[in-house]
Amino acid sequence: MVKIPIILMLKKESQKKIARAQDIIVEEMEKTFNKIVLHGGTAIWRCYNGNRFSEDVDVYIPKEINKINNFFENLKKRRFILEKKKIGKNSLYSSLRFENIIIRFEALFKLVKGELKDYETVEGNLITIHTLLPEELIKEKINAYLKRLRVRDLYDIFFLLRHVKDKREINSELKKFLKDFKNPVDKEELKLLIISGLTPNIEEILRYINREMT
């Protein structure tokens, strides 16, 4: 089966621009930092063959100020405009403009063990990077959902479960998640983010999670 490049699956021009910007950011990160670990929705989309569009780029990196500054300088050379950059004790937040779209790049200064995976670019090329295991991504998404009740986080949990080999590793987290579950505040947004295929409703997602528990 021939895989369709991401660029041909995205319907909105703004999404195509964001996806191209993500590719450039990942390329420049790999050139600049010795160890980065991609996580969040974009990691799921690009490294685990996800079908939910994700805007932000979230990473774990060491706190190396010179390399961080070089990274942003290299992005400027590739037509990015730095709208905002804030470096704190434990994190970095930035907002970048690229071809009239805004993309957020956020980093946590933390050493995290990642797994080598192929990141798929919009053209279908592969960049080998570090990302989190599905189990760790699910744990992050559970915490994120319980804090902000965003439907995208719920969908990501549902999607990632098919990549977990041993469900016992996350069984306690899933039980707590279902016990504390509240409906998302933005459930109608999901159908706008799914790139291909059917969009499951909340009840279908919860039934699937229940079935996957050991």
> How far, CA to CA in Å, does 160 sit from each of 56, 61, 129, 132, 173?
18, 23, 18, 12, 14
For the chain, the C-alpha Rg in angstroms (whole number) is: 17
For 166-184, the DSSP string reads -GGGTHHHHHHHHHH----
Predicted local distance difference test score (pLDDT) of residue 214 = 64
pLDDT band for 126, please (50, 70, 90 cuts).
very high
Backbone angles phi, psi at 92, to 5 degrees: -130, 135
Looking at 3-7, 125-129, 171-175, which range is the least confident one?
A: 3-7
Could you give the CA distance from residue 197 to residue 203 in angstroms, rounded to a whole number? 17
pLDDT tens track for 53-69: 999 999 999 999 999 99
Predicted local distance difference test score (pLDDT) of residue 133 = 97
Query: Where along the chain do the CATH 3.10.450.620 domains lie?
Result: 6-132
pLDDT band for 3, please (50, 70, 90 cuts).
confident
Q: Per DSSP, what are the bridge partners of residue 94?
A: 85, 105
pLDDT tens track for 25-41: 999 999 999 989 999 99
Predicted local distance difference test score (pLDDT) of residue 1 = 63
* Superfamily designation of domain 6-132: JHP933, nucleotidyltransferase-like core domain (3.10.450.620)
Cβ neighbourhood burial of 172 (10 Å; 0-12, 13-18, 19+): exposed
Nearest partner of 199 among 144, 154, 149, 161, judged by Cα: 154
Q: CA 156, 80, 7 angle in degrees (round to 5)?
A: 45
